[in-house]
Structures are given as C-alpha cells and as structure tokens.
C-alpha cells in the first residue's frame, strides 16, 4: 500500500488524485491527515478513490507515522511513500515501482528534481522492511528518511532507479511550488545528527539473516502489529 501524509494542502491532494486517475493507477493509497489541520474539512470534502483509506491522527513526526503505518499493515507486500507535492506522470507508475521493488528491494522514480541522487518516493519490499524493523529511521522527524532507505537499498544491493517512471516533485526547491508553512516545519540539524550517527551496518546482519531464511524456504518471523479492518494492503 502507498502511504501519503498531507497537511495544509488539500489543493495539492486534489491534483494528486486527478493524476492518479489520469495515469491509470490502481494500487490503494492510505491518506494521513492531522487532526489539528485548519484545512481538515477541505480534505474531508475531497472525492477520493474507493480503494483509498483515510486516517486522521495527532502525530506530526513523519518517521513515527511511517512506522505506525507498518504496524497497521504488518503483512503488506510493499510499503510505498508518496507526498502531496508529487504528481505522477507515467501510466501505471504504481505497478512498475511495485514490481521493481519485489520483496527485498527498494525502487524509486525519477522526480525531475533529484533524479537518481536520492530515493524520493521510494517503494520498499515488504519482506525487507519487516526484516529491517523500521520504515522511517527511528529518531528522525521528517528529513533524511529517504537517505536512510537509500543507504539500506545500496547496502543489500537491491536499489533500483526507474528513470523512465516519472513522479514529478513540485517542490519549492526547484521553484515548482511556493514556500509554505508545511515546508517551513523542518528539523534539519536534529535529523542530520541522527542520520550521521546511524550506521547501516548495524542493520545488515538482521536483513541478511532474514534473506537467508527466505532463500531456504523458511517463513519470515513476523513482528507484532494490527491490520486496519476492511483494507487490503
């Protein structure tokens, strides 16, 4: 399932919904809104596809949100991250990214901004994330999450960049969006310190052990979690 948090930008989400339809995407999307968002009512008025799910919560820590999402869907085949400032341009982008990630890899599209330099909007194999034990590096708030996932993908040799799959990043950094309150809410110094202190090598033995078990045909050990009722991941 794809995870898409949004705050203060119902107009962006409306644009994403239209692009989702235009590109014939079919994978379910899990929307996460803040309960204190002044524009929550505008979000709730949007016409979202029938296979999407809406969740309203108080947490604003992105890494924490992502890890709670994994606990909600502990058996998902994949975990894909989206943002309200991205616009899919490639037909069936969802299917292509999911297929490229497989069970143990991380795929990412061309965002027309960072390109292959950063795994923006990554799609991560479910077995990889279960073995890793997290999706958003614990201790981070909202920055360096994609850097950490990219490091994991590189370390296990299963990072796949799909240059011809475009999810355009309409970001203020490339002058495709205005600066707003959501962009200003940063924790750059703190997140950078957490990321620099982390060593992907500490997580590799756990991942490799799980991959070895999978290769031997043994089931992967499941982590405790709960699945949202009536939602297929």
Per-residue confidence (pLDDT) for residue 183, from 0 to 100: 62
Distances (CA, A) of 201 to 119, 144, 151, 154, 211: 19, 17, 10, 11, 16
- Distance from C-alpha of 191 to C-alpha of 144, rounded to nearest angstrom: 7
- Write out the H or E segment, with its range, that includes residue 159: strand 159-169
Alpha helices in 58-203 (DSSP H): 62-72, 93-101, 126-132, 145-156, 181-184, 188-197
Query: How many C-beta atoms surround the C-beta of residue 204 within 10 A?
Result: 14
In degrees, rounded to 5, the angle at the alpha carbon of residue 121 between the alpha carbons of residues 165 and 47 is 90
- Distant-in-sequence contacts of 170-173, Cβ < 8 A, 24+ apart: 170/12, 170/85, 170/86, 170/87, 171/85, 171/113, 173/113
- Distance from C-alpha of 70 to C-alpha of 84, rounded to nearest angstrom: 20
**pLDDT tens per residue across all 233 residues of the chain:** 999 999 999 999 999 999 999 999 999 999 999 999 999 999 999 999 999 999 998 777 999 999 999 999 999 999 999 999 999 999 999 999 999 999 999 999 999 999 999 999 999 999 999 999 999 999 999 999 999 999 999 999 999 999 999 999 997 666 776 776 676 766 789 999 999 999 999 999 999 999 999 999 877 665 544 444 445 55
Contact status, residue 131 vs residue 210, Cβ threshold 8 Å: yes
Domain boundaries, the chain: 2-174+184-215
pTM equals 0.90
Contact status, residue 29 vs residue 2, Cβ threshold 8 Å: yes
May I ask the CATH class of domain 2-174+184-215?
alpha beta
| Closest residue by Cα to residue 1 from 71, 85, 57 | 71
- Distance from C-alpha of 7 to C-alpha of 84, rounded to nearest angstrom: 8
């Amino acid at each position: 399932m794809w995870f898409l948090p949004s705050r203060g930008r119902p107009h962006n989400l409306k644009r994403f919904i239209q692009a989702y339809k235009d590109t014939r995407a079919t994978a379910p999307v899990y929307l996460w809104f803040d309960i204190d968002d002044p524009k929550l009512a505008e979000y709730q008025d949007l016409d979202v596809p029938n296979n999407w799910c809406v969740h309203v919560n108080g947490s604003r820590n992105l890494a924490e949100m992502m890890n709670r999402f994994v606990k909600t869907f502990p058996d998902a085949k994949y975990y894909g991250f989206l943002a309200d400032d991205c616009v899919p341009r490639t037909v069936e982008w969802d299917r292509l990214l999911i297929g490229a990630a497989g069970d143990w890899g991380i795929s990412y599209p061309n965002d027309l901004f960072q390109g292959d330099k950063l795994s923006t909007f990554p799609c991560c194999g479910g077995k990889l994330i279960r073995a890793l034990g997290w999706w958003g590096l614990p201790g981070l708030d909202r920055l360096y999450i994609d850097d950490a996932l990219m490091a994991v993908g590189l370390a296990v040799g299963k990072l796949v960049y799909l240059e011809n799959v475009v999810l355009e990043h309409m970001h203020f950094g490339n002058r495709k969006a205005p600066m707003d309150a959501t962009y200003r809410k940063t924790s750059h110094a703190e997140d950078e310190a957490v990321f620099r202190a982390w060593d992907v090598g500490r997580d590799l033995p756990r991942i490799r052990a799980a991959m070895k078990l999978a290769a031997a045909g043994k089931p992967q050990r499941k982590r405790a979690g709960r699945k949202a009722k009536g939602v297929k991941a």
